[in-house]
Every structure is written in C-alpha cells, then in structure tokens.
C-alpha cells in the first residue's frame, strides 16, 4: 500500500510543533500500525533524520501506552483495540493518515506523539487503592460475592489507563477513567470500607489537575479500547453523592 502520513512533530515540551508529511511505499496490510511507524522510523534513521517519538511497550493491548489520535479517533477507527493492535488492513490504498498526540491540558506533549500522562497517576495516588488489610487469597475467597457484581468489578478493572477517554471527549474529561477505578472497588466488599474517602479524593484530584467536565456525550465509551461503559460514570456520581 502507498500511504501519506501527516504526523505531529514537536522537538520537546516547550517547542512549537507542526505536522510533517511522510510518503510511505510498500506498507503491508498485514502490518500492525506501530510496525508501520517502526518502518518509517527505520527509514528516517537511515536518512540521518530524527525518528518519530511514540509511546509503546507491550504491543499486546495490555499496557495502554501506545495511545495516539489517528484520523479523528483515539487508537484509530476500529472499536475495541489499542493502536498496537490496529492493523493496516483497515486503511485504504493511497489514504492520508493524520496522526496526532492526545490533546488535553493535563496531558502535555513531551515529544512528537508522546504525552505526559502523570495526571492519571496523580488521581490513582489520591485514592485508587485499598489500604486496609484484605488478607491472603483464601481470606478473600471466604467472602461470597455475587457473580454479576464480580463480573462488573472485573469489567471496570480492565481499564488500562491509556487516556483514550480523555482524548475522545470534547471536554477532555477523565470521568470514564476515574469511574472505572472507583467502580472496581465500589462493587466489592473490600473496597466499600474506604469508598467515601476514595471518591472524594480522586474526584478532587481529577478537577485539580485540570481535566474537563463530563457532559454525558458518550464518546469515551465509544472509543475506549477496553469497552468500559459509561454506566460506571453514573456509579461514580452516586458514590460521590453518598460520600457527603
């Protein structure tokens, strides 16, 4: 396949960035999106040019580091996959692909397509954990939990914190991320003990780091690679009201 890439290039956090056009020949439809970028970078290095900086780690859709905004979608147009799992077969011959970093004030660009997602870490540190002694696995297994609740908690816990929800939201809101982290604990008895303190602290930190507000557009749910549901946001709101 022949493709035209329009990639956001920015030397560092303080530099002014711009889009740079790259022509790609011989892109295999079997390639993954990141492999296509790898081949571009190989070409750039061979030409003694600065390769495109982008986050990646596991390349298995688990770590959530490979976030980039592709043709108007976080992680590209295919629902339920991260950028590393995005196959080039979904692009057409001769297509122009716009590749941008996540755009949100709390996610400043570090270089090219890499953004600083420490804002999520700060929210997690504020309360996204259990500090009580939950005992060992046999102790946890002695507490009976309805299968439905356990499934819902698991469905929330699979959030990989990639930031696609923030990237997709027109308000750059982090409500889906925070609601997933709140829900995974709120649904289980071990998490209930600190539920009030947790929700207050995490919401306060979310506002403090500068994310926007949720206006229930549903774009976060549509773009989440792990299919986290906005029903979690309603749960977060309920938990927040209950915390006062």
Partner 1 sequence: MALAGIFLLMFLPIHLIINFLLLKSDPVPFNNAAHFMATFPLVKIMEIVLIGAILLHITWGIILQIQNWLARPIGYVSGSKSEISFFSRFMIWTGASIFTFLLLHFFNFYFVKLGLVKGNPEDFYSMAHDLFKIPAYNYIYLACFTLLGFHLFHAFSSAFQTLGLNHRIWTPVVKVVALVYAIILPAGFAFISIILWLFR
Pairwise CA distance, residues 74 & 52, whole Å: 18
Does residue 80 bind partner 1 (CB under 8 A)?
no
Strand, helix or coil at 149? helix
Could you tell me the two tokens for 243?
């915390």
Pairwise CA distance, residues 54 & 44, whole Å: 14
Does residue 234 bind partner 1 (CB under 8 A)?
yes
Window 14-53: contact mask with partner 1 (x via CB under 8 A): -----x----------------------------------
* Closest approach of partner 1 to the CB of residue 239, in Å: 8
With beta carbons less than 8 A apart as the criterion, state whether 119 and 211 touch. Answer: yes
Please identify, among the stretches 32-40, 46-54, 185-193, 235-243, the one whose residues bind partner 1 according to the rule CB under 8 A: 235-243
Does residue 63 bind partner 1 (CB under 8 A)?
no
* Whole-number Cα distances in Å, 189 to 17, 45, 51, 109, 179: 48, 53, 49, 39, 17
Does residue 77 bind partner 1 (CB under 8 A)?
yes
Supply the DSSP string of 221-236, one letter for each residue: HHH-TT---THHHHHH
Does residue 176 bind partner 1 (CB under 8 A)?
no
Q: How many CA atoms lie within 13 A of 164 on its CB side?
A: 35
Please identify, among the stretches 57-65, 86-94, 195-203, 231-239, the one whose residues bind partner 1 according to the rule CB under 8 A: 231-239
Residue from 69, 91, 120, 185 touching partner 1 (CB under 8 A): that is 69
For residue 18, which phi and psi values (nearest 5 degrees)? Answer: -160, 170
Question: Considering CB under 8 A, how many residues would be counted as binding partner 1?
Answer: 43
Does residue 171 bind partner 1 (CB under 8 A)?
yes
Query: Going by DSSP bridges, is the β-strand pair 3-9/96-100 parallel, antiparallel, or unpaired?
Result: parallel
Does residue 170 bind partner 1 (CB under 8 A)?
yes
Residue from 5, 222, 226, 228 touching partner 1 (CB under 8 A): that is 222
Site residues (vs partner 1, CB under 8 A): 6, 19, 69-74, 77, 98, 100, 103-106, 168, 170-173, 210-219, 222-223, 230-231, 233-241
């Amino acid at each position: 396949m022949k493709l035209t890439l329009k990639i956001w290039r920015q030397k560092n956090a303080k530099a002014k960035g711009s889009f740079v056009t790259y022509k790609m020949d011989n892109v295999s439809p079997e390639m993954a999106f990141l492999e296509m970028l790898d081949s571009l970078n190989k070409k750039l290095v061979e030409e003694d040019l600065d390769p495109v900086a982008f986050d990646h780690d596991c390349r298995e859709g688990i770590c959530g580091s490979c976030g980039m905004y592709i043709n108007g979608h976080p992680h590209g147009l295919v629902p339920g996959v991260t950028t590393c799992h995005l196959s080039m077969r979904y692009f057409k011959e001769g297509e122009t692909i716009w590749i941008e970093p996540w755009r949100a004030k709390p996610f400043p660009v570090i270089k090219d397509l890499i953004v600083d997602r420490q804002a999520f870490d700060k929210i997690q540190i504020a309360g996204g954990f259990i500090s009580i002694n939950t005992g060992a696995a046999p102790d946890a297994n002695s507490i009976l939990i309805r299968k439905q609740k356990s499934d819902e908690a698991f469905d929330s816990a699979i959030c990989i914190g990639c930031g696609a929800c923030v990237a997709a939201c027109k308000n750059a809101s982090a409500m889906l991320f925070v609601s997933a982290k709140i829900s995974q604990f709120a649904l289980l008895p071990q998490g209930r003990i600190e539920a009030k303190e947790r929700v207050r602290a995490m919401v306060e930190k979310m506002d403090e780091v500068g994310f926007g507000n949720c206006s229930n557009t549903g774009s976060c749910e549509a773009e989440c690679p792990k299919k986290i549901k906005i029903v979690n946001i309603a749960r977060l709101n309920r938990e927040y009201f209950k915390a006062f």
